[in-house]
Amino acid sequence: MSADRSKAADILDFAHLARFTIADHAVERDVLATFQTGARDYLIRLRAALDSEDWGDIAHGLKGAAQGVGARELARLATRAEELASGAKDRRRWMLEDLQAALERVEARIVQHLSRIAVGKQEKF
């Protein structure tokens, strides 16, 4: 696997997604739309929980959502976010920026993937 393809799979692993959705494009669209809505909500909740003990639980939820669709980079960052102790507001704020950037990369790959599906091209794994 080339380095570029490996990096792209780290952002969003379409082979994982295809196994998860049994390669049904309608299911993929629904799963990805649900993921995007949920992931954005988790980031809003994390922003509100910078000083809260709820931070770890919210990050854990984001990690699970990311793992479910194969967003490996986002899942790794969410794992690290989950481990940040309370009182580390500055570190949490930086982590939130990293999570936001990772989600933006995932969303860009989703748009690319859905446009390929719309024109009948298959993603190369």
Cα–Cα separations (whole angstroms), residue 106 to 83, 86, 88, 99: 22, 28, 26, 10
Domains parsed from the chain with CATH numbers: 3-118 (1.20.120.160)
List pLDDT tens digits, range 14-43. Answer: 999 999 999 899 999 999 999 999 999 999
The pLDDT assigned to 102 comes to 97
pLDDT, mean of residues 35-64:
96
Cα-based angle 103, 105, 107 (whole degrees, multiple of 5): 70
List pLDDT tens digits, range 79-106. Answer: 999 999 777 889 999 999 999 999 999 9
Task: Quote the tokens at residue 38.
Answer: 């949920």
Residue type, 24: D
Task: Please say if the pLDDT value at position 124 is more than 90.
Answer: no
Measure the CA–CA gap between 8 and 90, rounded to whole angstroms: 29
Full-model pTM: 0.88
Kindly report the number of other CB atoms within 10 A of residue 67's CB atom.
16
Q: Kindly indicate the confidence band of residue 7, based on its pLDDT and cuts at 50, 70 and 90.
A: confident
Task: Please say if the pLDDT value at position 66 is more than 60.
Answer: yes
The pLDDT assigned to 4 comes to 59
